[in-house]
């Protein structure tokens, strides 16, 4: 935390962030091909790209189209988590998983599947990967309803005078 915040109150800071940990996010570039400009373009597989959470990481668009490997250290083997992938440029929720168990995205219940990215404009978009500890299992219908209500409020709010 010292690299992120400079403070004379390190004991207070440590107490406040004792449950915060860094996620391990690794993107894998699979060999693929796509059709554009009246030709087939082949993209070779590349070495995995791991994000350093304390350094800006600029990734090519083709790389972040596929869901990355995301891991963390769970408190216990029974602790459930919520995973969110959010675009701060466009205030857009790309991915939303609940009831994740075991410190990875394997076996999560999908509320909103991995959508990858597709910027409307050619700008660099900062994305946030977040994991929250749940107090109990979240019913998938409740999570889906909350996502729909949030999306509707955002749409109404952006078009209201």
Give tens-digit pLDDT for 79-111.
999 999 888 877 888 889 999 998 999 989 999
Separation of alpha carbons 75 and 102, rounded Å: 9
CA distance 64 to 46: 13
Domain boundaries in the chain? 20-159
Yes or no: domain 20-159 corresponds to CATH 3.90.280: yes
Model-level pTM? 0.72
Most confident of 22-26, 55-59, 134-138: 134-138
By percentage, how much of the chain surpasses pLDDT 90? 17
């Amino acid at each position: 935390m010292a690299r992120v915040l400079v403070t004379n109150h390190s004991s207070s800071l440590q107490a406040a962030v004792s449950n915060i940990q860094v996620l391990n996010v690794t993107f894998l570039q699979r060999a693929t091909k796509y059709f554009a400009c009246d030709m087939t373009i082949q993209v070779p597989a590349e070495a995995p790209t791991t994000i350093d959470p304390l350094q800006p990481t600029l990734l090519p668009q083709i790389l972040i189209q596929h869901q990355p490997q995301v891991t963390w250290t769970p408190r216990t083997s029974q602790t459930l988590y919520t995973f969110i992938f959010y675009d701060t440029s466009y205030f857009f929720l790309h991915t939303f998983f609940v009831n994740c168990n075991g410190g990875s995205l394997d076996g999560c219940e999908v509320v909103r599947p991995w959508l990858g990215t597709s910027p409307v404009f050619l700008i660099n978009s900062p994305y946030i990967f977040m994991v929250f500890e749940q107090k109990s299992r979240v019913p998938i219908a409740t999570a889906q309803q909350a996502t729909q209500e949030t999306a509707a409020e955002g749409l109404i709010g952006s078009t209201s005078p």
